[in-house]
Amino acid sequence: MRATAIEFRLRMAINAATIILGFWAPWIEQWGIGRRISVLEWLALALSRYSIASFAIATPIVIIAAACIAALGAVLRVWGTAYLGTSTVHNLNMKAGTVMADGPYRFVRNPLYLGLWLMVVAMGFIMPPTGALCAIFFITIFAMRLIFGEEAFLSTELGEPYKVYLRDVPRLFPRLRTNVASAGARPRWLRAVMAELTPIGVFVALAFLSWTYDNRLMGRAILVSFGLSLVTRALLPPEAPSSAT
């Protein structure tokens, strides 16, 4: 169930391929499985069909729900990256320094994977329903494989302090309150924002462009944000060692 070292190195490419497959959903035309309609439209139609809300009311409800999910995903990604550091988050290899117990890591062990999952769920609103189900299913399986692999690696490298951390902080369902003391790490917000332009772009697309009902426009906006994130990561200066306060 654990991800291999190769999977970890290729995780961004695998995630991107999964998302592309969700949007593409070739089985719709090839085998007639599903419909070429976005989840956003499908949910709004379903709410109106079952007389839960009129289509005019159901559509903004669905859009706002999608934007809220995207916002939460973006917050978790930026918050987690600000504390863990861009050089660690986007490294091709697993790294073990000290136990990170600051920022979101005091409330949940894997805010970055949780943020990624929420981002994909948010993007699912502009995918065909069968494509969204496929993307969410495979992202969930792959994220769990990565998490189990990292936990095994860090348990071996960091020993008892990390095992105590495993007992005190939940894997994926955040606690609203925590007894884990802050280690005093300083967040690097600007670097985190620049490195996490993709989830921010997903939020912008759903919060502001979904009102145009143009799925292609939203898809292009997300693609542009992904391209910009790659460029900014490449241009970011080397990260200085973190210092505690």
Residue-wise pLDDT tens for the chain (245 aa)?
Answer: 799 989 999 999 999 999 999 999 999 999 999 999 999 999 999 999 999 999 999 999 999 999 999 999 999 999 999 999 998 999 988 887 778 889 999 999 999 999 999 999 999 999 999 999 999 999 999 999 999 999 999 999 999 989 999 999 999 999 988 888 887 889 999 999 999 999 999 999 999 999 998 999 999 999 999 999 999 999 998 876 554 33
Quick check: helix, strand or coil at residue 244? strand
Q: Could you give the CA distance from residue 57 to residue 102 in angstroms, rounded to a whole number?
A: 41
Q: Could you give the CA distance from residue 3 to residue 145 in angstroms, rounded to a whole number?
A: 5
CATH number for 5-235 (one of 1.10.10, 3.40.50, 1.20.120, 1.10.3470): it is: 1.20.120
Q: Could you give the CA distance from residue 39 to residue 191 in angstroms, rounded to a whole number?
A: 33
Looking at residue 132, what is its pLDDT? 98
Say how far residue 64 (Cα) sits from the centre of its chain.
Answer: 18
For the whole prediction, is pTM greater than 0.85? yes
